[in-house]
Amino acid sequence: MSFDLVLFGGTGDLAWRKLMPALFQAFRHGTLPEGGRIIAVARDELSHEQYRSLIQSRFEGVDLAKRPTPDEFERFGALLHYLRMDLSQTQDYARLAAMLHERNAESVVMYVATAPSLFTNVCEQIAAVGLNGPHTRVVLEKPLGHDLRSNQAINDTLRRVLKEEQVFRIDHYLGKPSVQNLLAMRFGNALFEPLWRRETIANIQITIAEELGVETRGAFYDQTGALRDMVQNHALQLLCAIGMEPPINASANAIRDEKLKVLQSLKPWSTETIGQHVIRGQYVAGKTHGASVPGYLQEKGVAPGSTTETFVALRTEISNWRWAGVPFYIRTGKRLAGRDAHIVVNFRPVPHPIFRTSAGAANRLVINLQPKDGLELHLMAQGAAQQQVEPALSQVSLNLDFDQRFGTERVGAYERLLLDVIAGRLNLFVRSDEQEEAWRWVEPILQHWRNDALGPRPYTAGSWGPSAASAMIARDGYCWSEEV
């Protein structure tokens, strides 16, 4: 299939850090359709050759295994083109249109990897020069707005100039092989479905822990915070994947319809439940791998006395027949004790114990998302032969390591998502109504925090967050997975 991929923000951070390496991997794997052009667009005055050299020089800093050989770069570089544009000028879009009309590719992808404030303007300008035809797909990165209203305003503009199926809203977590495996586990196996309900499951915990701080993004992050940066999108998408009903088929809309229902069923907040069930934190100086690291307020770009949260832990419920009363806990933060994203499904203990087990021992399914990718099923077994009337059981686990099993066959999140956009597959992208529903649900928390003088609770960098997060879950009689 012939394609033209236009990369707005072609000299920017995202293009460089994520998109070019992913496009190169697809090229190396032979999955990037032949006969494509990658047209980088930016304000700098560069020739095609200069842009290619720039990209080649940046690849020199990449892991050897992911770096192109000179011969590979010569072939990959031939796909790269450069167009200087001022994104506020309609005549510059006309030049882009002329360049695209030369070929009339079967798939035209507009990847808007610019500052979010330019998203709607770029889409309107694309439409103004007639580039919004049925072969055009527009890719937008988060953040799409900073609250429900601004998100709706963006979506309204998009709807005026594009059809919903032309808009590819990226949540890169959906492109991770481990997250796709979560759906494969649930809907490709008959084993789990009968157990996947309130009668058997006591609680579910979703953790996305990061070891890094805000790095160079202090100014952006300070306006954003963990709730908007991670919970509204990545964590809620994971919650949807774990909690949704089986879709009627694997089409994008069938999957999105089911995810939407989960978001619509999330228990509404009250002032009281936000106070009790939502914990926000902010890291103070501490240690990561033995080295001292600064606190959030000392990071570059962060406003003095900022109350932006770098950690959120919360408890919610999906109010439907399958899940009523089952707590779902979400926890995410920066500068935590490790980089670890996983979901723990805690099953209920047996109804009538005839063996001795340690208090509260029950089956547990751990879905490791990153850096490990696989499943751990914790079961009870009897070790050495015992003479007691009521023998004691020990925990054993079945461990599936997907990296080991599928290692070289796996593709990275951006590689997968870019190939999907080119092919027009929407399954792993977020529909506007899902996104709006997610904003609708987090908005009362944002409002509550605005009026809450207490601010975030401090936690030491390199810890698992404020102790209040453990106290919150302990009130239900449970604990986080690392405390088991």
CA distances from 335 to 231, 235, 293, 344, 454 (A): 16, 17, 9, 21, 21
Q: Which is nearer to ligand BG6, 229 or 420 (CB)?
A: 229
Chain Cα centroid distance, residue 213: 17
Within 10 Å of residue 386's Cβ, how many Cβ atoms? 13
Neighbours of 124 (CB within 10 A): 16
Least distance in Å: CB of 19 to ligand BG6? 14
Catalytic residue from among 101, 135, 146, 234:
234
Find the binding residues for ligand BG6 in span 183-222 (CB under 6 A): 210
**Whose CA is closest to 13, among 301, 217, 225?**
217
The closest residue (CB) to ligand BG6 is 229
Radius of gyration of the chain (CA): 24
CB of 335 to ligand BG6, least distance (A): 11
- Which residues contribute to the annotated binding site for NADP(+)? 43, 86-87, 142
342: annotated active-site residue: no
User: Is the CB of 4 or the CB of 373 nearer to ligand BG6?
Assistant: 373
Say if strands 340-347 and 364-370 run parallel, antiparallel, or are unpaired: antiparallel
Q: Single out the residue of 4, 92, 229, 415 in contact with ligand BG6 (rule: CB under 6 A).
A: 229
Q: Are 230 and 283 in contact (CB under 8 A)?
A: no
Strands 80-84 and 36-42, by their bridges, are parallel
* Binding-site residue set for substrate: 172, 176, 210, 229, 334
Contact by Cβ (8 Å): 50, 90:
no
Beta strands, E only, 32-151: 36-42, 80-84, 107-112, 136-140
Cβ-based nearer residue to ligand BG6, 210 or 434: 210
Q: For the packed helices 148-161 and 119-128, what is the interaxial angle rounded to 10 degrees?
A: 10
Whose Cβ is closer to ligand BG6: residue 162's or residue 428's? 428
Residue whose CB is less far from ligand BG6, 210 or 436: 210
* Residues of the binding site: 43, 86-87, 142, 172, 176, 210, 229, 334
Instruction: Single out the residue of 332, 335, 279 nearest to residue 457, CA to CA.
Output: 279
Min separation Cβ 338 and ligand BG6, Å: 12
Where do the DSSP E strands lie in 101-256?
A: 107-112, 136-140, 167-169, 201-209
Q: Nearer to ligand BG6 by C-beta: 210 or 415?
A: 210
Retrieve residue 430's tokens. Answer: 């977020």
User: Closest separation between CB of residue 120 and ligand BG6, Å?
Assistant: 20
CA distances, 331 to each of 39, 98, 281, 346, 481 (Å):
39, 49, 11, 16, 11
Minimum separation from the CB atom of position 428 to ligand BG6 (A):
14
Nearer to ligand BG6, 205 or 265 (CB): 205
Instruction: Count CB atoms within 10 A of the CB of residue 26.
Output: 22
- Grouping H, G, I as helix, E, B as strand and the rest as coil, residue 351 is coil
Shortest Cβ distance from residue 210 to ligand BG6 (Å)?
5
- Spell out where 113-255 has E strands: 136-140, 167-169, 201-209
The amino acid at 177:
P
- In which residue are the tokens 């934190």 written? 281
Rounded to whole angstroms, how far apart are CA atoms 15 and 22?
10
| Spatial distance between the Cα atoms of 384 and 392, rounded to a whole number of angstroms | 10
Q: Are 344 and 481 in contact (CB under 8 A)?
A: yes
- Tell me the closest approach of the beta carbon of residue 233 to ligand BG6, in angstroms: 7
- 142 or 256, CB closer to ligand BG6? 142
Instruction: Count interface residues toward ligand BG6 (CB under 6 A).
Output: 2
CB of 141 to ligand BG6, least distance (A): 8
| Helices 20-28 and 70-77, packing angle to 10 deg | 110
**SS3 state of residue 176:** coil
Which residues lie near ligand BG6 (CB under 6 A)? 210, 229
Question: Which positions are annotated as active-site residues?
Answer: 234
